Every structure is written in C-alpha cells, then in structure tokens.
C-alpha cells in the first residue's frame, strides 16, 4: 500500500446535481443510489456538496418544501483533495475536518470522491480510517448504545 494515492481508491462515478435542481431531486438521487452525499457542480466544476444532514437541518427543519432550490441547503466551504495526495494524508484531512467523504478535485474539476470506507477496505490503512472515524464520531453516541 505504500505509495498509493487517493486516485487509486477514489470512487469515480460521482452522483451530482446542479444549482438548477431542488431539494426533492437531491433526496430522490440519494434514495436511488443509497447515498447520503451529493456533489453540486457547474459543468464539471465543484461548487459545493449536499448531505442528508444538510437536507434535514437546512431544508426540512427550516420548513422548506421539496421544490426549494439547492442554493438553500448547499455547503460551499468544503475541504477537497488532489488525486495525487497520499491515502495517509487523506485520512488525516478527514479526521481533522471531521468528515466522512472528501471530494477529489483536479484543476478545479470534480474527478472523484474518497469516503472513509474506501480507506478502511484498502488493507493497511485500516488504522488510519479507524482513527479518522473515531475523531469524527467521538462526540456522538453510537447507534444502539443505550
């Protein structure tokens, strides 16, 4: 695994939406693809992301309807990573920013997504993925732990 980069493990088939889409269309894509994260693009340029949590907190909890524009729920200030970054560095960035998914951007264009699970299933980086996930989840009660 030494010398492996984000390019080696990232998902290249990214589900995306544009600013012309609405909250319902995002939720539908999340359901259809069984995901909780969608990149928002203008052409191939990444302009932000929407997570299932964004839909709840900025969308439905604010009483926005399904026809609400992406602009109301998008997260624009996001961490990204270059595809040539080491897998170890990706794990550190995810832990530091407490995120589970990291858009991979090359020359301003979205080329992939690396998820915490991508790190975990790649063998020798299980420790880094576990540490990253531990930092992300440290302030939360695990599901079923009551």
**Tens digit of pLDDT for each residue in 31-47?**
999 999 999 999 999 99
Rg (CA), the chain: 16
Nearest Cα residue to 11 out of 118, 126, 124: 118
Most confident of the ranges 60-64, 113-117, 140-144: 113-117
Instruction: Please determine, for residue 128, whether its predicted confidence score (pLDDT) is greater than 80.
Output: no
Q: Mean of the per-residue pLDDT values for the chain?
A: 85
Q: Looking at 13-17, 29-33, 127-131, which range is the least confident one?
A: 127-131
The pTM score is: 0.79
Exposure class string for 106-128: b at 16+ Cβ within 10 A, else e: eeeebbbbbbbebbbebeebeeb
Q: Which residue has the higher pLDDT, 131 or 80?
A: 80
Predicted local distance difference test score (pLDDT) of residue 6: 95
**Residue 114 has which token pair?**
């690396």
Long-range contacts of 124-130 (CB under 8 A, 24+ apart): 124/1, 125/1, 125/87, 125/88, 125/91, 128/87, 128/88, 128/91, 128/92, 129/91
| Per-residue model confidence as pLDDT tens digits over 106-115 | 998 999 999 9
Nearby residues of 73 by Cβ (< 8 Å), 6 or more positions away: 23, 26, 50, 54, 55, 58, 59, 64
Q: How far is CA 137 from the centre of its chain?
A: 15
């Amino acid at each position: 695994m030494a010398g492996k980069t984000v390019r080696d493990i990232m998902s290249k088939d990214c589900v995306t939406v544009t600013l012309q889409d609405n909250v319902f269309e995002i939720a539908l894509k999340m359901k259809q693809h069984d995901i909780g994260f969608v990149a928002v693009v203008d052409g191939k340029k990444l302009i932000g992301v929407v997570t299932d949590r964004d839909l709840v907190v900025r969308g439905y909890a604010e009483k926005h309807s399904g026809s609400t524009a992406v602009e109301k729920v998008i997260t624009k200030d996001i961490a990204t990573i270059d595809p040539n970054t080491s897998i170890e560095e990706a794990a550190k960035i995810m832990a530091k920013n407490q995120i589970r998914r990291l858009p991979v951007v090359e020359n301003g264009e979205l080329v992939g997504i690396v998820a915490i699970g991508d790190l975990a299933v790649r063998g020798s980086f299980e420790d880094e993925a576990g540490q990253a996930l531990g930092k992300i989840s440290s302030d939360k009660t695990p599901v079923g732990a009551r």
